[in-house]
């Protein structure tokens, strides 16, 4: 019997900012390489019902900050189901500004709004936008991840929940901080764009396997460097580019 | 005291204009304005003879240079005196330079119209000193994310300036700009009807955008250009108007004609995004008393600014270069669609290079994932070449994710001109399309010219 992975692609048209639909394509492709059938279920509108029970991953790509309060209000209607989804160690991925959804609070220049509060952090709108490459290692296994970042928000972690340790770029709360993203249970929040799961298929593989393991399916197949040759070449090319940059006027 | 300071700044500005004119006309399109604005911050507010009812700002993400130049050309062709920043210097200093050039020694202007392309980020600053009554907003799209972040960032900047004393000229089929009408005193809508190049998106991975009113999903009945077409919100009442002031209809791409208010216009540029520029130009010119015949006469001899579409000749190959705006998926999509129209066997060279506009330089290629490559793939591309020291692999990966066989892609992790041209030499196909940054195009142009010189000398 073929193994199946069910992904909720949350608000594809609304959370559509930096080509991040590619992240969903990556889960489908890497899943197929692992001989897994990946079912992607779109939640297109706030009026759509969300099937928490039959899905393994909820995926929130990056969107404009202005849409976040509407998404938060919508998800509040599902607070029990969402709590169970998280308690069941199912995976939630949040990219960039979508971190507002699970944060405690987001402070904008002229207003603020509360998030669902599952991640012990606040997001604060920056005075200026910061765009750069980003390179970091996951705290859980030292896996190296490369991407870009377009930061409109700084992340203030209130407890030790960082996802990764920064090697290059702007950290959660600016250039001098070396933490990146956040993780609580299997809620994963990162600032990395790229799309990050296209550029780092090793991370995609890890999340797919973890999500399946969570429902009692162990995937034996291991994808090799040969499978990821293009992405490894890309990683090395961008690391070379980063090494040539030197210190820049960053904040 | 302010008046004396203004006259001094103006005098300095005029001397600089004179010197720039002697030394190099091509460069220094805003130098006079830079100095004048340094001497007096509110310099441009001191000019006299400006009727703000005849002042136009052309802003938005894409199409503002072309539209600005087209409007100015049409007005001038109709005998009107127009002050404008035609050279693309669209910041405060560029506007200041244009005013310096056209004013008397005392800062008096006698132009019939003032038409300025204004950078969307600096729109509010320019408006503060020059309160134009007519604002044209072409579209608000994803663009230059390293400085703009998200479209709403620019939307809010523009919205903060709009007031009831203004007339807005708005694209009826672009949701973001359409939604700005409620903040203005008057809105004049323009648009393009469904035509032979209109398309729908039904693929699983196709996405649209959030409603600017309620944040729910926008549904397009069809598109004329990516993210521009007849639309409605999936939740609220917001939608494109069914009847508008200026609508291009009966678009005939073979004959290069379209109708607007029952008059048939012949045009030189028939790409769908160009039709929007034409109809916006008609909207403004008609509103200000220019006749259809005068507009048509101007369209006949309108030439777009150079650098957007150029041709290079290398050995037997014809390399067609299409310029795109960096980090701008709509212009990349338009370029890909343009290439797709050519069904002759071809080589497609993609040089999405690292972004080096300002520090920190970085390797963004993610906007390519906003684009759809299906039409390109089915347009008889025989070979794909991706080059760039840092992002050739990422560019190639975008093509692979679109379904292109990786064995059909040459990946050149270099920016070396010789390597790029040597790769082209390997294939016996003369029809070549190139997308890269303008700087790289100039380098390749120079390389080819030098190559020809070397051949002659041999």
Domains of chain A: 3-245 (3.40.50.880)
pLDDT at B340: 95
Who contacts B356 (Cβ-Cβ below 8 Å, separation ≥6)?
Answer: none
pLDDT at position B456 over 60? yes
pLDDT tens-digit readout, B80-128: 999 999 776 888 999 999 999 999 999 999 999 999 999 998 999 999 9
Question: Which residues from B are below 8 Å from A194, CB to CB?
Answer: 366, 394
pLDDT at position B306 over 60? no
Please report the residues numbered 206 through 225 in chain B whose beta carbons come closer than 8 angstroms to any beta carbon of chain A.
Answer: 207-210, 214-218
Q: Contact at 8 Å (CB) between A21 and A61? A: yes
Backbone angles phi, psi at A87, to 5 degrees: -65, -30
Residue B447: CB atoms within 10 A of its CB come to 17
Q: Which of B210, B329, B413 sits opposite A64 (nearest CB)?
A: B210
Residue B260: CB atoms within 10 A of its CB come to 23
- Record the tokens describing residue A180, joined without a space: 């990146």
Average pLDDT over residues B130-138: 97
Mutate to test the interface with A, among B144, B206, B211, B393 (most CBs of A within 10 A): B393
pLDDT at position B381 over 60? yes
Who contacts B104 (Cβ-Cβ below 8 Å, separation ≥6)?
Answer: none
pLDDT at position B292 over 90? yes
- Record the tokens describing residue B109, joined without a space: 């202007």
* Shortest CA distance from B330: residue in chain A: A19
pLDDT at position A247 over 60? no
pLDDT at B277: 96
Residue A40 C-alpha, separation from nearest chain B C-alpha, in angstroms: 10
Question: Which residues from A are below 8 Å from B399, CB to CB?
Answer: none
pLDDT tens-digit readout, A48-75: 999 999 999 999 999 999 999 999 999 9
Q: Does B360 touch chain A (CB under 8 A)?
A: yes
* Shortest CA distance from B388: residue in chain A: A237
Q: How far is CA B104 from the centre of its chain?
A: 32
Alpha-carbon span B365 to A204, nearest angstrom: 19
Q: Which of B209, B214, B368 sits opposite A16 (nearest CB)?
A: B209
Q: Does B151 touch chain A (CB under 8 A)?
A: yes
Question: Which residues from B are below 8 Å from A131, CB to CB?
Answer: 145-147, 360, 362, 364
Average pLDDT, chain B: 93
Q: Does B370 touch chain A (CB under 8 A)?
A: yes
CATH of domain B309-457: 3.90.190.20
pLDDT at position A179 over 90? yes
Residue B216 C-alpha, separation from nearest chain A C-alpha, in angstroms: 6
Residue B370 C-alpha, separation from nearest chain A C-alpha, in angstroms: 5
Question: Which residues from A are below 8 Å from B218, CB to CB?
Answer: 13
Of B336, B341, B429, B343, whose CA–CA distance to B380 is shortest? B343
Who contacts B23 (Cβ-Cβ below 8 Å, separation ≥6)?
Answer: none
pLDDT at A235: 98
Question: Which residues from A are below 8 Å from B209, CB to CB?
Answer: 13-14, 16
Domain boundaries, chain B: 2-300, 309-457
pLDDT at A251: 43
The 8-class DSSP code of residue B217 comes to B
Q: Does A33 touch chain B (CB under 8 A)?
A: no
Mutate to test the interface with B, among A22, A39, A63, A228 (most CBs of B within 10 A): A22
Average pLDDT over residues A121-131: 96
Residue A132 C-alpha, separation from nearest chain B C-alpha, in angstroms: 5
pLDDT at position B327 over 90? no
The residue ranges of DSSP E strands in B109-244, in sequence order, are 113-117, 134-137, 167-171, 186-192, 218-220, 231-233
**Hey, are the CB atoms on A45 and B397 less than 8 Å from each other?**
no
Average pLDDT over residues B218-227: 95
Residue A248 C-alpha, separation from nearest chain B C-alpha, in angstroms: 6
Peptide bond into B360 cis (omega under 30): yes
- Record the tokens describing residue A55, joined without a space: 């899905």
User: Given this structure, which CATH class describes domain B2-300?
Assistant: alpha beta
**Hey, are the CB atoms on A64 and B151 less than 8 Å from each other?**
yes
- Record the tokens describing residue A121, joined without a space: 């952090």
Residue B252 C-alpha, separation from nearest chain A C-alpha, in angstroms: 32
Q: What confidence tier does B30 reach under pLDDT thresholds 50, 70, 90?
A: confident
Question: Which residues from B are below 8 Å from A25, CB to CB?
Answer: 205, 369, 401
Q: Does B354 touch chain A (CB under 8 A)?
A: yes
Alpha-carbon span B30 to B36, nearest angstrom: 10
Q: Fold identical between B2-300 and B309-457? A: no
């Amino acid at each position: 019997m073929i193994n199946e992975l069910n992904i909720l692609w949350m608000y594809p048209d609304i959370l559509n900012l930096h080509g991040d639909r590619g992240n969903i394509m990556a889960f489908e492709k890497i899943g197929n390489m692992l001989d897994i059938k990946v079912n992607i279920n779109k939640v297109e509108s706030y009026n759509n019902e969300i099937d928490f029970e039959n899905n393994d991953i909820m995926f929130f790509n990056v969107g404009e900050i202005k849409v976040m309060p509407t998404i938060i209000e919508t998800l509040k209607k599902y607070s029990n189901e969402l709590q169970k989804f998280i308690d069941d160690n199912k995976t939630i991925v949040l990219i960039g500004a979508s971190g507002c959804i699970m944060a405690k609070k987001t402070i904008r220049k002229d207003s603020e709004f509360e998030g669902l509060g599952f991640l012990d952090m606040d997001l604060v709108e920056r005075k200026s936008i910061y765009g750069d490459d980003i390179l970091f290692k996951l705290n859980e296994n030292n896996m190296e991840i490369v991407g870009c970042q377009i930061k409109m928000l700084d992340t203030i972690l209130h407890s030790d929940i960082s996802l990764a340790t920064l090697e290059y770029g702007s950290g959660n709360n600016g250039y001098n901080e070396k933490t990146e993203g956040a993780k609580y249970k299997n809620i994963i929040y990162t600032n990395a764009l790229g799309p990050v799961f296209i550029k780092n298929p090793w991370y995609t593989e890890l999340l797919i396997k973890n999500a399946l393991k969570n429902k009692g399916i162990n995937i034996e197949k291991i994808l090799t460097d040969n499978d990821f040759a293009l992405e490894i070449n890309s990683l090395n090319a961008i690391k070379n580019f980063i090494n040539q940059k030197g210190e820049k006027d960053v904040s | 005291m302010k008046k004396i300071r203004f006259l001094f700044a103006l005098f300095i500005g005029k001397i600089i204009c004179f010197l720039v004119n002697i030394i190099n006309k091509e460069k220094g399109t805003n130098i006079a304005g830079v100095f004048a604005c340094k001497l007096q911050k509110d310099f441009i507010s001191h000019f006299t003879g400006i009727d703000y009812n005849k002042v136009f700002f052309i802003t938005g993400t894409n199409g503002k240079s072309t539209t600005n130049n087209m409007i100015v050309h049409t007005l001038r062709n109709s005998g009107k005196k127009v002050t404008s920043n035609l050279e693309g210097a669209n910041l405060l200093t560029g506007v200041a330079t244009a005013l310096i050039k056209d004013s008397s020694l005392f800062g008096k202007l006698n132009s019939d119209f003032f038409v300025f392309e204004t950078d969307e980020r600096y729109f509010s600053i320019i408006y503060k000193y020059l309160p134009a009554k007519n604002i044209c907003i072409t579209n608000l799209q994803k663009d230059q994310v390293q400085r703009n972040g998200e479209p709403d960032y620019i939307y809010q900047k523009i919205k903060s300036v709009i007031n009831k004393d203004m007339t807005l000229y708005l694209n009826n089929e672009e949701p973001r700009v359409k939604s700005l009408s409620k903040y203005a005193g008057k809105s004049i809508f323009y648009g393009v009807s469904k035509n032979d190049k209109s398309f729908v998106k039904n693929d699983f991975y196709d996405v649209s955008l959030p409603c600017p009113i309620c944040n729910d999903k926008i549904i397009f009945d069809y598109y004329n250009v990516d993210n521009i077409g007849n639309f409605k919100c999936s939740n609220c009442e917001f939608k494109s108007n069914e009847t508008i002031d200026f609508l291009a209809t009966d678009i005939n791409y073979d004959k290069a004609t379209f109708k607007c208010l029952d008059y048939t216009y012949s045009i030189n540029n028939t790409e769908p995004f160009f039709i929007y520029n034409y109809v916006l130009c008609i909207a403004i010119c008609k509103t200000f008393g220019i006749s259809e015949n005068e507009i048509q006469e101007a369209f006949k001899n309108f030439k777009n600014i150079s650098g957007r579409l150029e041709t290079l000749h290398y050995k037997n190959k014809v390399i067609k270069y299409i310029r795109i705006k960096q980090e701008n998926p709509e212009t990349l999509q338009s370029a890909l669609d343009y290439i797709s129209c050519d069904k002759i066997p071809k080589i497609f060279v993609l040089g999405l290079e690292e972004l080096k506009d300002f520090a920190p330089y970085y390797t963004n290629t993610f906007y390519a994932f906003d684009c759809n490559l299906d039409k390109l793939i089915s347009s008889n591309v025989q070979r794909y070449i991706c080059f760039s020291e840092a992002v050739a692999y990422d560019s190639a990966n975008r093509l692979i994710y679109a379904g292109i066989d990786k064995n059909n892609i040459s990946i050149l992790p270099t920016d070396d001109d010789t390597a790029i041209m040597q790769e082209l030499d390997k294939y016996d196909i003369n029809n070549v399309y190139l997308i890269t940054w303008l700087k790289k195009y100039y380098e390749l142009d120079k390389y080819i010219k030098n190559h020809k010189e070397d051949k002659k000398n041999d």
